[in-house]
Structure 1
Amino acid sequence: MSDFNTIDDLSVNGKTVLVRADLNVPMQDGKVSDTTRIDRLAPTLKELAGKGAKVVILSHFGRPKGGPDTKNSLRQVLSDLSKAVGQEVAFAEDCIGDKAKAAIAAIKPGQMVLLENTRFHAEEEKNDPAFAKQMAELGDVYVNDAFSAAHRAHASTEGVARHLPSAAGRLMQQELEALTKALEKPERPVCAVVGGAKISTKLDLLGNLVGKVDMLALGGGMANTFLYAQGVDVGASLCEKDMADQARAIMETAKKAGCEILLPLDFIVAKEFKAGAASRDVDAKAIGADEMALDVGPKTVEFLGLKIQGAKTVVWNGPLGAFEIKPFDAGTNAVAGLVAERTQEGGLLSVAGGGDTVSALASAGVEDKFTYVSAAGGAFLEWLEGKDLPGVAALKKK
């Protein structure tokens, strides 16, 4: 991690530290319904406060249109945040200007204040230089702990870093270290497991991965498109027939790069997509015209298990089947279980991320048994696509 500044590179005692957090948490009936992001952020905030800094927290929340509104106020997360950091966090009605300055002046070193939603200002998403400068004027040092917002070049994720000494917070650091180990400097062989409905949304990702990994295991709807591109009849399964040429091009690139593409050998198929629908296990080439492939079958699980057994690194994005509905979660659960088991034995580095992936691993009961599970979604995907993330680039040592 030598090319990034971390909290270890900063002296913060007696200073005001601006921390870019991601407090864009899910809400239900005006209450936070999942505190994962808050819990993961707390160690950075507590450490900075413990070192004698005034901690000023910046975050976006929701998608407000044209100025402040109560539905998108960060005030709603204040009590959960206070609970997570073990102290009463103050609140400022704005993220720049006099209200913010007064709220910061009113706290002592070792205390914290949460500033109102950065997106209440249109300049935030435009990365407006004057707005970023106004924000930077509130503090002495900038710490970015919002990897999940690092793929956006906004004022609070990238603009502020141009004005202040900047570093990655502990969560950002953890994320960058895990990702670097998984794809930039991995222990080989590396196996990427990529599922999900469509290849159209993951073309860049697949194109980047085949040049970096030794094996690419495909599941979900996208596996059907690859089989179809090889002339297999996939019946009534989800399949992007218009993407066959792109699938063939990816297979060609993989061959040249020495990356082995692993496609399902068998499927669990059903005639209707609903819980408890009558289903059967068929060979990948024997799907009936009125049947849909909804999960990978036991032969595929065994085949992937052997491949994972020989891998040193696994990068996972997307479920292998329609995991939301039983019994079509069995394949994802079984393969995720094997990855978790090998990780726990110490033989494997496993990194997973992206929206559906987190819920798929959670329903398999293994999300805390992987080396690292990223809650970042879009930023994780763009990183897998090999793109430079502006919020990360801004933290590189000058």
Structure 2
Amino acid sequence: MAKKIVTDLDLKNKKVLVRLDFNVPMKDGKITNDNRIVAALPTIKYILENGGKVIAFSHLGKVKTKEDLISKSIRPAANRLAELLEKEVKFIPTTKGPELEAAVDALKPGEIMMFENTRFEDLDGKKESSNDPELGKYWASLGDLFVNDAFGTAHRSHASNIGIAANIGEGKTAAGFLMEKEIKFIGGAVDNPTKPLIAILGGSKVSDKIGVIENLLDKADKILVGGAMMFTFLRALGKNTGKSMVEEDKLDLAKSLLDKANGKLVLPIDTVVSKEFNNDAPHKTVSVNNIPEDQMGLDIGAATIKLFSEEISNAKTVVWNGPMGVFEMPNYAKGTIGVCEAIANLKNSTTIIGGGDSAAAAIQLGYASKFTHISTGGGASLEYLEGKELPGIVSISEK
């Protein structure tokens, strides 16, 4: 059945708990990338415009020491949200207690407040991360409705998502617009894709993508493999991989996946190699059949970019997770750029980036606007692509 979304709720005069994913990168107390805050604006604005009282909250990093209570305050995110909304966001520097309760009671329709980093509750016994029953019950007691817009934590069973959902009351939990998009695009690509479906997988480890590969082998028309994980597959085929990164304990698994794929797994045919993991070191492109013993592969080569681009050109649905090389170094970013360009040039296709480094690469390279959807959740999108049920999505009320 379809999940409730925020538009299915009667918001007027209601206290609406809104779980956001404001786990943004920070340096010296300042936000270095506010994409996740910007992405949450449609849901927040909709609730405010429809007479709801927004009680916003999110985690920020992991909280292990008392010093983290200072360095990982979510106040800077609340301040940035106020700037983007162009209205006051009252910040409450605690996660429970009389001050928070009084602020909630004082809220008027169309007003918004935010309370402190939910992970502050982890300092004494991991109450948030272990879904402490009393904490979920307490947070639920603060509101009338619960809107979950934090896909980035949908794969976690925390007090701030499933704990609240379990206690807020039947039919009172809904997805925000951002969560709705993730369900629609990533869930749709896995469950009911428009064919041909091409999956592109990169990154460093086969072990990170085993579940994705196994799930997509039954659904995708082709799976293109790049990044360091390609060398584990190449070694499994008996090829010399030089000093390239290889998961020696996953060679048998890689071989079994290749056998099961029956030609659906497409491996690179050339690679850019160097003796050093260094952008300025000498490098060259070689066939995957001729990788020198003293060199490591750091990107896919031009022939592979052409091969992958041809495969992508036929796609009606594309799912991409993981860069093709060490894209942070300009000399080894060409594979990732080539894949980005091939996907960006598609017309009338659904194109999805499954979060993480590939999302960062597309944004950094200026291709973000060319994709149908860029996931806000790295780990969550991977588990969704694996076909797993995500607790944060399961806990949302059915329509």
TM-score range, shorter chain: over 0.9
TM-score normalized by the length of structure 2: 0.94
User: Quick one: distance in 1 between partners of 2:117 and 2:271?
Assistant: 47
Shift of 1:41: 0.7
Residue number in structure 2 paired with 1:47: 46
User: Quick one: distance in 2 between partners of 1:396 and 1:247?
Assistant: 39
Residue number in structure 2 paired with 1:217: 224
Corresponding letter in the other structure for 1:366: Y
Shift of 1:35: 0.6
Q: Is 1:128 equivalent to 2:132 in the alignment?
A: yes
Residue number in structure 2 paired with 1:293: 297
Residue number in structure 2 paired with 1:72: 72
Shift of 1:323: 1.2
Residue number in structure 2 paired with 1:388: 389
Q: Match for 1:247 among 242, 254, 262?
A: 254
User: Quick one: distance in 2 between partners of 1:245 and 1:84?
Assistant: 51
Shift of 1:363: 3.2
Residue number in structure 1 paired with 2:187: 180
Residues 123-155 of structure 1: CA distance to partner in whole angstroms, max 9, x if unpaired? Answer: 221212222111111110000000001111111
Corresponding letter in the other structure for 2:266: L
Q: What does 1:97-246 correspond to in 2, within 5 Å? A: 97-121=97-121, 122-164=126-168, 165-246=172-253
Q: Is 1:277 equivalent to 2:277 in the alignment?
A: no
Residues 74-117 of structure 1: CA distance to partner in whole angstroms, max 9, x if unpaired? Answer: 22322101012221101223233322110112221100010112
User: Quick one: distance in 1 between partners of 2:10 and 2:65?
Assistant: 38
**2:64 aligned counterpart, secondary structure:** coil
Shift of 1:307: 0.8
User: Quick one: distance in 2 between partners of 1:220 and 1:210?
Assistant: 19
Shift of 1:253: 2.2
Corresponding letter in the other structure for 1:49: L
Contact 1:66 1:120 in 2 (8 A): no
The more displaced of 32-41 and 56-65 is 56-65
Q: Is 1:310 equivalent to 2:314 in the alignment?
A: yes
Residue number in structure 2 paired with 1:86: 86
**2:368 aligned counterpart, secondary structure:** coil
Point out where structure 2 has 5 or more consecutive residues left out of the alignment: none
Q: Please report the RMSD computed on the Cα atoms of aligned residues, expressed in angstroms.
A: 1.6
Contact 2:190 2:387 in 1 (8 A): no
The more displaced of 348-357 and 94-103 is 94-103
The 3 A distance-change label for structure 1 pair 66 and 99 is: farther
User: Quick one: distance in 2 between partners of 1:188 and 1:391?
Assistant: 28
Corresponding letter in the other structure for 1:61: L
User: Quick one: distance in 1 between partners of 2:344 and 2:28?
Assistant: 35
Q: What does 1:6-17 correspond to in 2, within 5 Å? A: 6-17=5-16
Residues 188-209 of structure 1: CA distance to partner in whole angstroms, max 9, x if unpaired? Answer: 1111100111112222222222
User: Quick one: distance in 1 between partners of 2:201 and 2:355?
Assistant: 11
Contact 1:353 1:376 in 2 (8 A): yes
Shift of 1:66: 6.3
**2:127 aligned counterpart, secondary structure:** helix
Residue number in structure 2 paired with 1:32: 31
Q: What does 1:359-374 correspond to in 2, within 5 Å? A: 359-374=360-375
The more displaced of 9-18 and 326-335 is 326-335
Shift of 1:185: 0.7
Contact 1:190 1:311 in 2 (8 A): yes
**1:163 aligned counterpart, secondary structure:** helix
**1:126 aligned counterpart, secondary structure:** coil
Shift of 1:177: 0.9
Contact 1:144 1:169 in 2 (8 A): yes
Shift of 1:181: 2.5
User: Quick one: distance in 1 between partners of 2:292 and 2:132?
Assistant: 56
Q: How many residues align structurally?
A: 391
Contact 1:97 1:134 in 2 (8 A): no
Contact 1:151 1:391 in 2 (8 A): yes
Contact 1:276 1:326 in 2 (8 A): no
Contact 1:182 1:350 in 2 (8 A): no
User: Quick one: distance in 2 between partners of 1:60 and 1:273?
Assistant: 35
User: Quick one: distance in 2 between partners of 1:363 and 1:110?
Assistant: 35
